[in-house]
């Protein structure tokens, strides 16, 4: 099995001298191709810091991180920019769509920046729009569509360039129940059918129950992890709730 991400002894410290806060300590983690990983933990546990470091938005204080065979810690800014565009896909809670572009133009932006041929762009955009059920809104602008449609547009944009790793930061946080379930189902199908590798930070146990493996963080350290295996989503959901209870962290609303 191909390793997409490997983190060794990752530490992140904020501040200096007498005012030091250790956000992450001794993080060792591997993600294989085709995994759908959930990252959970109480507020302030280090979930967002971990995501920011893996997404190259931030850098670790120490440790090694390899993504798609490349050591991202050693890269210069120009290399990181290219790497981000070619190897990583991002799904944010607040969509980050450009209002001046149509849904279709938002989705194809990463392909246009990479100078992919027009025919191939057309094929990929239509394919991903079908996956997320948004073909009928491709010519609309973000301010004309619902929150759920915006998030599915954002997910399509993240995935259209076939990145090695898709990073999702609380992707259901701003969605109603129906829209959240639609997005999670689409991500799960994408993971199954395309072998896409997805890492999703979430506080919501129901969202995490769509994952194949859930990793829990507490006080900046890896606390434990659980695998879905052959459990039903309902059984996995209950197991996630149980671990969250033992963490003493925030519980989630059931969608």
Q: Is the pLDDT of residue 226 over 60?
A: yes
Q: How confident is the model at residue 127 (pLDDT cuts 50, 70, 90)?
A: very high
The upper half-sphere exposure of residue 20, i.e. CA atoms within 13 Å in the direction of its Cβ, equals 10
C-alpha 240/C-alpha 26 separation (Å) is 23
Average pLDDT, the chain: 92
Alpha carbon distance 41, 27 (integer Å): 14
Residue among 125, 171, 124 nearest 148 (CA): 171
Question: Span 186-207, mean pLDDT?
Answer: 93
The burial class, CB within 10 Å (0-12 / 13-18 / 19+), for 111 is buried
CB distance 160 to 138 below 8 Å? no
Work out the end-to-end distance of the chain between its first and last CA atoms, rounded to an integer number of angstroms.
34
* C-beta of residue 88 within 8 angstroms of C-beta of residue 163: yes
pTM above 0.85, yes or no: yes
Q: What is the mean pLDDT of residues 154-174?
A: 92
Confidence of residue 213 (pLDDT cuts 50, 70, 90): very high
3-class SS of residue 192: helix
């Amino acid at each position: 099995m191909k390793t997409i991400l490997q983190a060794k002894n990752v530490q992140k410290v904020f501040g200096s001298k007498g005012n030091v806060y250790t956000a992450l300590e001794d993080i060792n983690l591997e993600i294989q191709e085709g995994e759908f990983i959930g990252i959970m933990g109480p507020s302030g546990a280090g979930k967002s810091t971990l995501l920011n470091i893996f997404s190259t938005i931030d850098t670790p204080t120490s440790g090694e991180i390899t993504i798609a065979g490349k050591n991202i810690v050693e890269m210069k800014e120009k290399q990181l920019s290219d790497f981000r565009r070619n190897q990583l896909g991002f799904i944010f809670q607040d969509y980050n769509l450009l209002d001046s572009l149509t849904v279709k133009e938002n989705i194809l932006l990463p392909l246009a920046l990479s100078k992919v041929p027009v025919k191939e762009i057309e094929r990929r955009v239509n394919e991903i729009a079908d996956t997320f059920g948004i073909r009928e809104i491709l010519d609309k602008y973000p301010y004309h569509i619902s929150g759920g449609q915006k998030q599915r547009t954002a997910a399509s944009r993240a995935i259209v360039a076939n990145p090695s790793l898709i990073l999702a930061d609380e992707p259901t946080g701003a969605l109603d129940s129906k829209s959240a379930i639609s997005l999670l189902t689409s991500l799960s199908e994408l993971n199954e059918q395309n072998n896409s590798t997805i890492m999703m930070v979430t506080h919501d146990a129901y969202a995490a129950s769509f994952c194949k493996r859930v990793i829990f963080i507490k006080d900046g350290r890896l606390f434990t992890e659980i695998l879905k295996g052959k459990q039903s989503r309902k059984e996995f959901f209950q197991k996630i709730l149980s671990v969250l209870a033992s963490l003493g962290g925030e519980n989630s609303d059931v969608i």
